[in-house]
Amino acid sequence: MNQTLWDFFITRQDLLLELILEHVGIVLLAVAIAIVIGVTLGLLSSYYSALASIILPFTQIMMTVPSIALLALFIPIFGTGFLNGLIGLVIYSLLPIVRNTYIGIKEIDKGIIEAAQGMGMSERRILLKVKIPLALPVILAGVRTATVMITGIAAIVSAVGAGGLGELIFRGIARTYRDMIIAGTILISLLGIAADYGLKAAERSLTKQQS
Amino acid sequence: MIKIKYENVVKQFPGSDHLAVDNLNMEVHEGEICILVGPSGCGKTTSMKMTNRIFEHTSGHIYIDGVDNRDINPIELRLGIGYVIQEIGLFPHMTIADNVATVLVEKKWPKNKIHQRVEEMLNLVGLDPEIYSKRRPSGLSGGQRQRVGVARALASDPPVMLMDEPFGAVDPITRARLQNEFLRLQEQMKKTIIFVTHDIDEAIKMGDRIAVMRYGQLVQYATPDDLLSMPANDFVSSLVGGNRSIKRLNLIKVEDIDLYRPPEVAEGDSKTKVVEAVAGDKLGVALVVDDRGKLVGTVTNTDLKRKGEYVKDIYAPAHDLVGPKSTLRDTLSIMLGYGEGYALAVDQEGKPRGAVSVDDIFSAVKDNE
Ligand SMILES: Nc1ncnc2c1ncn2[C@@H]1O[C@H](COP(=O)(O)OP(=O)(O)OP(=O)(O)O)[C@@H](O)[C@H]1O
Ligand SMILES: [Mg+2]
């Protein structure tokens, strides 16, 4: 690593720490909201196929809208700032979570569900004791995809004033301050890698527990 | 007493142009095993699943203890009916103990009673709780999983059991063993059981009554004996097969016949003693028992040629054993498999009961006809 970049990390560590916390904060909050909405939608879709045929394509389409355009479109509704960025990130996290919840439930062996019914378990009990635990590794994989993806996308929400490490990139571009851009990029990548590893480990320990 | 009654029961699946079950009329007696047998797709599983309302019938009535099963809340209904499905369907994320406890947890039994009951059930189906309680289904063989499936269905001691090919996914020897163990249990439990199978030999062995189905219809409903001697039509005859005397062997169990008892020697006995015993026996064999009286092997003239001072140095380990619930058909297969003129019978504890010879089989069939 060259000297000036290193100096940047050292001298600006307070700013960097603040931006990291902001970045992680908005990502975690977005993922948490997306889990609540996404798992609910995924579960509902697994019960009502009519709903599935609307929700799954819809989340798919939302994914194809470029993130910068989506955020710009939200400005008239949510203004600029944190809320706009947060909502954008939630929408991007939804697809993998909804889809994986749906697939995770649908892929459970029919015989297992039928055995549960035959034992006299109610639908609510089957959902809590059988379906969700069995779909959990797949749902968690969706959460991981979402988290890693929006850790990157969160760099762009800085453009609408939602804060985070993207600030470094945008300010760096404005001032043609190369080290600032590189520092922002490195930190965002590191966060993404950390999220990927952490959640993969969680998935693995869960699958191990179950087999 | 009639426990379950099917009255003009019809099942047509949505979008299907034929009837999966076509006007089924049948009475299942309390404490009996009723076998549903017939070719693939004839409606066995469907008939069974309408009983606990996994499937709702299109028309007709199913009565359990005289009550229309549509008037019973499905959850209540199912808690009172043990269910072993064709695919076994163990919960892969739960331990064996938790699998067996499923119905007990649903019935809100206290924890300590559940624990005790689960151990009892695992012992009952021949799985050591010490070893297997904490394992997951993936750590078990096919036969062990089927045992767990049966233990799970039996755990709350339901008066009625539905069993869909419960011993389907195992090799013939394991299947015969599971069948024998189950018949022994049923002797004490006296449950009302609907049991689905493809296998006519299994049907004859296990059934108090057999329902032969084809194209969704009940073709014949009779005791195994009547089914063999009076098949209702060509379809039943061909299902039973050309060689009915051989099928009849499924009707007779080892415990039903008088057995010849060859001489017994202990492991620690001297060779001279066993030479006399073998010479004096009509089959030319002496049975070797251990200090607890269990059959461990045999000595024949071939073994006597081996060097050694005591019985324990020369005997051949026992292999071709049958139990009280083994049929003569099982016994004959074992004899043919090992190329011997007799098979050895042991009781539940593994103590020798005697030898079944080919002659015994002939005369048992003659008496039975
Ligand atoms: N869920 C379902 N939806 C539509 N049709 C079904 C369904 N289940 C069974 N069927 C049809 O009903 C008929 C009877 O099926 P069933 O499963 O009762 O046969 P079976 O006698 O148990 O066969 P097998 O020995 O292969 O298990 C078949 O034609 C089958 O295709
Ligand atoms: Mg079937």
Per-residue pLDDT tens over the stretch A106-122? 999 999 999 999 999 99
Does residue B244 have a pLDDT over 90?
no
pLDDT at A1: 59
Better-predicted residue by pLDDT, A179 or B53: B53
Question: For residue A155, is it within any domain?
Answer: yes
pLDDT one-digit tens code per residue, B323-341: 999 999 889 888 888 777 8
Chain A contact for B13, CB < 8 A? no
CA angle B135, B140, B146 (to 5 degrees): 115
What is the residue with the minimal CA distance to atom 30 of ligand 1? B41
Does residue B117 have a pLDDT over 70?
yes
Does residue B368 have a pLDDT over 70?
no
Does one domain contain both B36 and B170?
yes
What is the residue with the minimal CA distance to atom 3 of ligand 1? B13
Does one domain contain both B45 and B132?
yes
Name the minimum distance, in Å, from the CA of B140 to any CA of chain A.
Answer: 11
Residues of A in contact with B76 (CB under 8 A): 120
Residue of A nearest to B104 (CA): A119
Burial A67-83, CB ≥16 within 10 A → b, else e: beebbeebeeebeeebe
**Beta strand pairing call for B321-322 and B342-346:** parallel
Nearest CB partner across the interface for B83, out of A109, A119, A211: A119
Confidence band for B369, pLDDT divided at 50, 70 and 90: low
- Measured distance CA(A192)–CA(A24) in Å, rounded: 10
Give the list of residues 6+ apart from residue B213 with CB closer than 8 angstroms, or none. B36, B37, B38, B42, B43, B44, B47, B219
Mutate to test the interface with B, among A119, A132, A206 (most CBs of B within 10 A): A119
Q: Give the mean model confidence (pLDDT) for residues A87-109.
A: 94
Span from the CA of B132 to the centroid of ligand 1 (angstroms): 34
Does one domain contain both B172 and B286?
no
Does one domain contain both B283 and B177?
no
Our count of domains for chain A comes to: 1
Better-predicted residue by pLDDT, B191 or B367: B191
Ligand 1 atom with the shortest distance to the CA of B47: 18
Q: Give the mean model confidence (pLDDT) for residues B295-322.
A: 87
Does residue A6 have a pLDDT over 70?
yes
pLDDT one-digit tens code per residue, A29-61: 999 999 999 999 999 999 999 999 999 898 888
Residues of A in contact with B162 (CB under 8 A): 118
Of the candidates B364, B326, B317, B363, the one whose C-alpha atom is nearest the C-alpha of residue B345 is B326
Question: For residue A25, is it within any domain?
Answer: yes
Sign of the dihedral defined by the CA atoms of residues B337, B342, B345, B351, in that order = negative
The amino acid at A153: I
Span from the CA of B246 to the centroid of ligand 2 (angstroms): 26
Does one domain contain both B44 and B138?
yes
Place of tokens 């649903």: B106
- Measured distance CA(B233)–CA(B115) in Å, rounded: 51
Question: For residue B36, is it within any domain?
Answer: yes
- Measured distance CA(B18)–CA(B112) in Å, rounded: 50
Confidence band for B10, pLDDT divided at 50, 70 and 90: very high
Confidence band for B23, pLDDT divided at 50, 70 and 90: very high
Confidence band for A206, pLDDT divided at 50, 70 and 90: confident
ipTM above 0.85, yes or no: no
pLDDT at A102: 96
Question: For residue B250, is it within any domain?
Answer: no
Q: Give the mean model confidence (pLDDT) for residues B32-37.
A: 97
- DSSP state letter for B369: -
Of the candidates B117, B145, B150, B114, the one whose C-alpha atom is nearest the C-alpha of residue B132 is B145
Does one domain contain both B266 and B230?
no
pLDDT at B242: 67
Domain stop point among B183, B215, B243: B243
Residue of B nearest to A109 (CA): B89
pLDDT at A11: 85
Question: For residue B248, is it within any domain?
Answer: no
Does one domain contain both B113 and B212?
yes
Give the DSSP H/E element, type plus range, for residue B337.
Answer: helix B328-338
Span from the CA of B36 to the centroid of ligand 2 (angstroms): 10
Range of the domain at A26: 3-206
**Range in A160-164, A197-201, B73-77 with the lowest mean pLDDT:** A160-164
Does one domain contain both B50 and B93?
yes
Better-predicted residue by pLDDT, B169 or B135: B135
Of the candidates A162, A161, A158, the one whose C-alpha atom is nearest the C-alpha of residue A185 is A158
Nearest CB partner across the interface for B89, out of A114, A134, A209: A114
Chain A contact for B106, CB < 8 A? yes
Does residue A88 have a pLDDT over 70?
yes
Q: Give the mean model confidence (pLDDT) for residues A79-107.
A: 92
Contact B106 A120 (CB under 8 A): yes
Name the minimum distance, in Å, from the CA of B92 to any CA of chain A.
Answer: 7
pLDDT one-digit tens code per residue, A142-158: 999 999 999 999 888 88
CB pairs under 8 A between A and B: 66
Our count of domains for chain B comes to: 2
The mean predicted confidence, pLDDT, of chain B is: 91
Span from the CA of B44 to the centroid of ligand 2 (angstroms): 6
Q: Give the mean model confidence (pLDDT) for residues B135-144.
A: 92
Span from the CA of B54 to the centroid of ligand 2 (angstroms): 13
Residues of A in contact with B158 (CB under 8 A): none
Question: For residue B249, is it within any domain?
Answer: no
Contact B83 A125 (CB under 8 A): no
Ligand 1 atom with the shortest distance to the CA of B49: 18
Give A152-156's long-range contacts (Cβ < 8 A, gap of 24+): A152/A188, A152/A192, A153/A67, A153/A88, A153/A89, A153/A92, A154/A23, A154/A26, A154/A27, A154/A30, A154/A85, A154/A89, A154/A188, A155/A184, A155/A188, A156/A67, A156/A68, A156/A71
- Tokens found for residue A137: 């590794």
pLDDT at B340: 78
Question: For residue B121, is it within any domain?
Answer: yes
pLDDT at B143: 87
Give B342-345's long-range contacts (Cβ < 8 A, gap of 24+): B342/B283, B342/B285, B344/B287, B344/B295, B344/B298, B344/B318, B344/B320, B345/B254, B345/B259, B345/B321
Question: For residue A211, is it within any domain?
Answer: no
pLDDT one-digit tens code per residue, B169-225: 778 888 888 898 899 889 989 999 999 998 898 999 999 999 999 999 999 999 998
Contact B89 A133 (CB under 8 A): no
Helix axes B111-124, B142-154, angle to 10 degrees: 130
Does one domain contain both B229 and B293?
no
CATH number assigned to the domain comprising residue B16: 3.40.50.300
DSSP reduced 3-state for A46: helix
pLDDT at B338: 77
Q: Give the mean model confidence (pLDDT) for residues A87-114.
A: 94
Nearest CB partner across the interface for A118, out of B85, B93, B136: B85
| Largest CA-CA distance found in chain B, in angstroms, rounded | 78
Rg, chain B, Cα only = 24
- Measured distance CA(B350)–CA(A60) in Å, rounded: 65
- Tokens found for residue B281: 């026996």
DSSP secondary structure, B67-104, as one string: EEGGGS-HHHHHHTEEEE-TT----TTS-HHHHHHHHH
The number of beta carbons lying within 10 Å of the beta carbon of residue B73 is 10
Span from the CA of A99 to the centroid of ligand 2 (angstroms): 32
Confidence band for B102, pLDDT divided at 50, 70 and 90: very high
CA angle B168, B172, B173 (to 5 degrees): 125
Range of the domain at B94: 2-243
Give the list of residues 6+ apart from residue B153 with CB closer than 8 angstroms, or none. B82, B83, B84, B161, B163
pLDDT at A211: 62
- Measured distance CA(B238)–CA(B320) in Å, rounded: 31
Better-predicted residue by pLDDT, B368 or B53: B53
| Ligand 1 pocket list (CB less than 6 A) | B 13, 16, 20, 40-46, 198
CATH number assigned to the domain comprising residue A170: 1.10.3720.10
Name the minimum distance, in Å, from the CA of B141 to any CA of chain A.
Answer: 14
Q: Give the mean model confidence (pLDDT) for residues A165-175.
A: 87
- Measured distance CA(B283)–CA(B285) in Å, rounded: 6
Does residue B51 have a pLDDT over 90?
yes
The number of beta carbons lying within 10 Å of the beta carbon of residue B359 is 11
- Measured distance CA(A70)–CA(A85) in Å, rounded: 10
Question: For residue B342, is it within any domain?
Answer: yes
Residues of A in contact with B77 (CB under 8 A): 120
Span from the CA of A49 to the centroid of ligand 2 (angstroms): 27
Does one domain contain both B231 and B280?
no
Q: Give the mean model confidence (pLDDT) for residues B290-306.
A: 88
Give the list of residues 6+ apart from residue B144 with CB closer than 8 angstroms, or none. B127, B132
Does residue A163 have a pLDDT over 70?
yes
Residues of B in contact with A119 (CB under 8 A): 78-79, 83, 102-103, 106, 152
Does residue B306 have a pLDDT over 90?
no
The mean predicted confidence, pLDDT, of chain A is: 90
Contact B75 A122 (CB under 8 A): yes
Contact A211 B138 (CB under 8 A): yes
Does one domain contain both B263 and B234?
no
Domain stop point among B191, B214, B243: B243
pLDDT at B100: 97
Does residue B366 have a pLDDT over 80?
no
Residues of B in contact with A114 (CB under 8 A): 54, 85, 87, 89
Name the minimum distance, in Å, from the CA of B83 to any CA of chain A.
Answer: 6
pTM over the 0.90 mark: no
pLDDT one-digit tens code per residue, A171-191: 888 888 888 889 889 999 999
